[in-house]
A and B are shown apart, each in its own frame.
Chain A
Amino acid sequence: MSIEQRLSLGFLEADLSFLKEYPDDESGACVSVAMITSNDDLPFWDSRNAEVHVAHVGDTRVLLCHCETGHALTLTPMHHPASTIEADRLRKYARSIATDAFGQERFGLLANTRSFGDSRMKRMGVSAEPDVSTIKLGSGIDEYAFIVLCTDGITSVTSDQEIVDIVKGSKEPSDAAKAIIAFAESLGTDDNSTCLVVRLSGWGTKMPDHTKDMRDWRVANEGINSKTSRSR
């Protein structure tokens, strides 16, 4: 049994034990887990022969920054009714998917097609089976600078590339986490936001900032302190 299979089983098992123990509890949760196993006995910030395993359920997100291009690599697919794979899956259980006034597809009252808990929605096809992926961390083309894990409070107002570019401009991972949350809050997110920035072997590599002008423009024009902002 591989790590991927065990991660899947761990997620399902955790969900099942919660549903059994609290059958009347309707709360839910989205979870992303990244695990780093190194093959050369060096810790994750030094290792150039390691693997990162990601298991994911819901709308949280895990991003890797590729050293050679500076691009964001998203390891977590969206578990939302707008995703064709998820919508196809749900159609087997439900008769229809409603579209709300904003054109957003909603499945019942829920915006996630997979989650922990959520006992009301389980019979409609919502499950806690994770999407699992594995990426090799090495040198050269396989080198990555850092991992970012963040919740939807951040990703609802920023793009993946913007998040990665903010980290590139930071001295330390802890400054990067602060800068990401500050950026999301300046764009007016009102949800809880959480962010983890994990240093990998490629940290500090010179990489182009692809979205600097865009971010400056957004803070000036869409931000909560901007004069032209109409929404707030």
Chain B
Amino acid sequence: MRVPILKARHHLGALTSRGDRAENEDRFKVGLMNEVVTTEGLPPFYFAIIDGYEASLYSLITVMEETFVLILLSIIFTILSRRLERPIQNLFWTLGGQTLEDISDDFILACSTVC
């Protein structure tokens, strides 16, 4: 049987309130990293809260979604590397001489190939 995690009252409580503000700029996101289901073991859960400010709602949502896509990608990659025991340690975390931008393109590419 599958129960959506946000409806599992016994395991998770999640609530957001606008308070006296015009708009609610808080968000939360809960999930299971399904992408690693193919490897052995239980995929990890993640829980996140976001408190936006001075925000047009549109851009806030963009920040949020990009954040999680990237965090998820990076974490998936870690878990895969741990499970598969692949020696990928030194592939990306080599900031010397490179900017973060240079690395990130390789990084995302590598994530998608491994997944």
On A, residues with C-beta under 8 Å from B are 1-3, 5-7, 9-18, 21-22, 25-38, 41-45, 55, 58-60, 116-117, 147, 149-153, 172-178, 180-181, 185, 189-199
User: Among A11, A35, A172, which residue has its beta carbon within 8 angstroms of that of B44?
Assistant: A35
Q: Tell whether A153 pairs with B75 under 8 Å between CB atoms, given A17-B70, A60-B49, A198-B47.
A: no
A35 CA / B74 CA spacing, docked (Å): 13
Task: Write out the residue numbers on chain A whose beta carbons fall within 8 Å of the beta carbon of B62.
Answer: 18, 21-22
Q: Is the CB of B47 within 8 A of A29?
A: no
Q: Tell whether A175 pairs with B13 under 8 Å between CB atoms, given A26-B54, A196-B30.
A: yes
User: Among B16, B63, B66, B74, which residue has its beta carbon within 8 angstroms of that of A193?
Assistant: B16
Instruction: Assess whether B15 is interfacial by the CB under 8 Å rule.
Output: yes
Instruction: Assess whether B18 is interfacial by the CB under 8 Å rule.
Output: yes
Q: How many interface residues does B have (CB within 8 Å)?
A: 61
Q: Nearest chain-B residue to A116 (Cβ)?
A: B63
In chain B, residues 54-87, which have Cβ atoms closer than 8 Å to a Cβ of chain A? 54-56, 59-60, 62-64, 66-75, 77-79, 81
Q: Is the CB of B46 within 8 A of A173?
A: no
Q: Is the CB of A28 within 8 A of B71?
A: no
Task: Write out the residue numbers on chain B whose beta carbons fall within 8 Å of the beta carbon of A152.
Answer: 51
In the complex, besides A1-B88, A5-B93, A151-B26, 9 extra interface pairs with C-beta distance below 8 angstroms are A10-B74, A16-B101, A27-B56, A35-B75, A150-B49, A151-B51, A191-B21, A196-B13, A196-B47
Q: Is the CB of A38 within 8 A of B66?
A: no
Q: Tell whether A192 pairs with B51 under 8 Å between CB atoms, given A36-B45, A199-B12.
A: yes
Q: Nearest chain-B residue to A9 (Cβ)?
A: B74
Task: Write out the residue numbers on chain B whose beta carbons fall within 8 Å of the beta carbon of A181.
Answer: 15, 17
